[in-house]
Structure 1
Amino acid sequence: MRAVLIHHFGQAPTVTDVPEPDLPQGGVILRVSSTGLCRSDWHAWQGHDPDVALPHVPGHELAGTIAEVDSSVRGWRPGQRVTVPFICACGDCEQCREGNQQVCTRQLQPGFNYWGSFAEYVAIPYAEVNLVALPEEISYDTAASLGCRFATAYRAVTAVGAVRPGEWLAVFGCGGVGLSVVMIAAALGARVIAVDTNPVALAMATRHGAQHTMLAGSGPSAAGAANESDDIAEQIRQLTGGGAAVTMDAIGAESVVQAALRSLKPRGRHVQVGLLPDKVRLDLSLLAFRELAWLGSHGMAAQNYPAMLELVRSGAVRPDELVTGVIGLDDVGSALSAMSGAAPAGITVIHPAADRS
């Protein structure tokens, strides 16, 4: 099969023929119809994830059809349209038994600790726990955009942040996750403020329900970034009459987290979605003085997909409108390189079979 293969971190990957994946016990092989290009894939390419071993095939947001099923798997057959969460849970550890598959202690992640979906086929372990049937009304491209960013945003808004109608929510970063947060929270009745450095992303946030947007800059220095964080936080506090009830960091940056914490009203809730660098210095005294809550959010279990899929199927949210680009495997290298600069607006999806003659 053809796949995107990383030989050296940070260097251009190649598109080449590699062996098709082996069928895992208790798993399936999927023919990939569409797979998302995510910031997390950029981190894997850069070597920021210790689970990634070279050579490596990235890709973790995917949708397709079942090509092969292990004989021990019940309830699934070849030809079915499916998607999966990016965290493939074992279904048997303590966290899984408690219904928290998104933090499974034995989880496998395609595109990180084994070869992923920037390929024509991908293996999915623990199939009975992780496969999600895809309604005919939902396209493969839409489903691929759900796997990491939209599903993560959905759980961050509804379960972790527990955002209520009428509450102020400030979203920092309007890439795929941030725009998904905007869309979902607005559909559920929250008042959303979107913050980003990209005017195009902010325009998309407005179209998808943000009541207010704020244009942030990168800051010429650490001090400049800190000053700008204070300014953004003050604007949010003034706009909301004392601070947002919930803030979300959807990009992962030290200055963003500090601004988000300072934007909260007393006893507000911060949800950390974006991956942060290893060393982050923050004024965490704010947590104590204002009795703030810092909550982590990481993906969503397959068992929680039906409510999200029904919201999509009904048209209440339109993740398909966040898809701004469709490329083939041959374009992945340049698309990854482009992510080293300002984050592009919207979501790019890859059609692995598009380059086949």
Structure 2
Amino acid sequence: MRALVLESYGEPLAERDLPEPTPDPDGAVVETEACGICRSDWHAWQGHGDWVDDRVPTGQVLGHEPAGVVRAVGEDVESVEPGDRVVVPFNLADGTCPACRRGRTNYCEGATALGFGPDAPGAFAEAFHVPEADVNAVPLPDEVSATAAASLGCRFVTAFEALDAVADVGGGDRVVVVGCGGVGLSAVQVAAALGGTPVAVDVRDAPLELAADVGAAETINADAVDDVPTRVRDLVGGADVSVDALGTADTCRTAVDSLARGGTHVQVGLTGDDDRGEIPLPVDDVVQRDLTVEGSRGMPPARYEELFRLIANGRVDPEALVTDTVALGDVSDRLAAMSEFDAVGVEVVTEF
């Protein structure tokens, strides 16, 4: 089968003809219909993550935001069968550890991540294997297209979990989102759907225009104002919730400094080579203004039903974030575009 392999960091992914996967007794093989191209793929392609022992090894098939059709299942699988349409989260869980038993499968102690480790070759390929399919393969409703499901990917579900489960955003909450890439734009749309008032911050006009289209009440070009937190206070009186959707010292500090007293910051963006996992925070300010700092990663597969209901009733439209669909051979160029911040919105591979 055709697949893209990470052979050298920062170099074009190699197109290879690999053996077709076969299902483990508890697994399923899925024919890929669509797969998002995410900034986490870019981090893997750059070789980031060694500072937390999370560097993706060379030889890996990338791609972690897939939707497709089940081709084959193992003898122990009960929840899906060949022909079923499914979406698969990147945070693959075993379903048995203490975290899983508490419903926190996105923090599974025995987890592997689709497309990031040798035990889970990814979905920049014609087909891929899903371990523990009864936990990790989520049936996809007919009304949700493969492209929309792939745009849910890790970005939309991460934004939903961060704002709904972690920050508990509700009616009237002011939410500042710093960085309007895929996860940031998702956070803007989710915040609006939950009844919040989103304020989108970026240094580029194009993603800010898209943010306004998907629900931002206010937008701020950080290059056009002297002080973003002051501007946030002028516009909405400070934020009840802030999200750093990029993962740099500047974006994180901007998000935290934009909070009103008693506010909550949720970190979803991962750092790169400049910060290497360490970002200083104004701890005295955290104490004196009763701020909360949280992290959020992925979402339990069981919560997909909640997202599907939001899509069905029109409260969210993840496909509205899709700005381009591309072929598998275009992935390397699209990753390179992320290095220059030339990509806008969510790009999805639909031709394999």
Report TM bin, short chain: over 0.9
Q: Distance in 2 between matches of 1:280 and 1:63?
A: 34
Deviation at 1:147, TM superposition (A): 2.1
Indicate whether 1:189 and 2:195 are aligned.
yes
Aligned match of 1:232: 228
Q: Where does structure 1 differ by over 4 angstroms across 4 or more consecutive aligned residues?
A: none
Deviation at 1:344, TM superposition (A): 1.7
Deviation at 1:25, TM superposition (A): 3.3
**Normalized against structure 1, the TM-score is what?**
0.93
Deviation at 1:6, TM superposition (A): 1.4
Q: Which runs of 5+ in 1 are unaligned?
A: 219-227
What is the CA deviation profile of residues 264-323 of structure 1, one whole-angstrom value per residue up to 9, with x for unaligned ones? 111100010111232323322221111110011101011111011111122221111111
Q: How does 1:252-267 map to 2 (within 5 A)?
A: 252-267=247-262
- Structure 2 counterpart SS, 1:336: helix
Q: Distance in 2 between matches of 1:3 and 1:217?
A: 40
Deviation at 1:136, TM superposition (A): 0.7
Q: AA paired with 2:296?
A: S
* Residue pair 2:79, 2:133 contacting (<8 A) in 1 also: no
Aligned match of 2:317: 318
Q: AA paired with 2:71?
A: A
RMSD (CA atoms): 1.4
Q: Distance in 1 between matches of 2:280 and 2:223?
A: 20
Q: Distance in 2 between matches of 1:99 and 1:210?
A: 31
Indicate whether 1:108 and 2:103 are aligned.
no
Q: Distance in 1 between matches of 2:25 and 2:292?
A: 41
Aligned match of 1:223: none
Q: Distance in 1 between matches of 2:301 and 2:270?
A: 22
Deviation at 1:352, TM superposition (A): 4.4
Indicate whether 1:127 and 2:133 are aligned.
yes
**Normalized against structure 2, the TM-score is what?**
0.94
- Structure 1 counterpart SS, 2:188: helix
Aligned match of 2:301: 302
Q: Distance in 2 between matches of 1:27 and 1:11?
A: 32
* Residue pair 2:105, 2:300 contacting (<8 A) in 1 also: yes
Q: How does 1:106-255 map to 2 (within 5 A)?
A: 106-113=110-117, 114-217=120-223, 231-241=227-237, 243-255=238-250
Q: Distance in 2 between matches of 1:115 and 1:20?
A: 11
Deviation at 1:176, TM superposition (A): 0.9
* Residue pair 2:47, 2:55 contacting (<8 A) in 1 also: no
Q: AA paired with 1:117?
A: A
Indicate whether 1:99 and 2:95 are aligned.
no
Indicate whether 1:69 and 2:68 are aligned.
no
- Structure 1 counterpart SS, 2:36: strand
- Structure 2 counterpart SS, 1:116: coil
Q: AA paired with 1:275?
A: L
Distance 1:51 1:23, change over 3 A: farther
Deviation at 1:172, TM superposition (A): 0.5
| Count of residue pairs brought into register by the alignment | 342
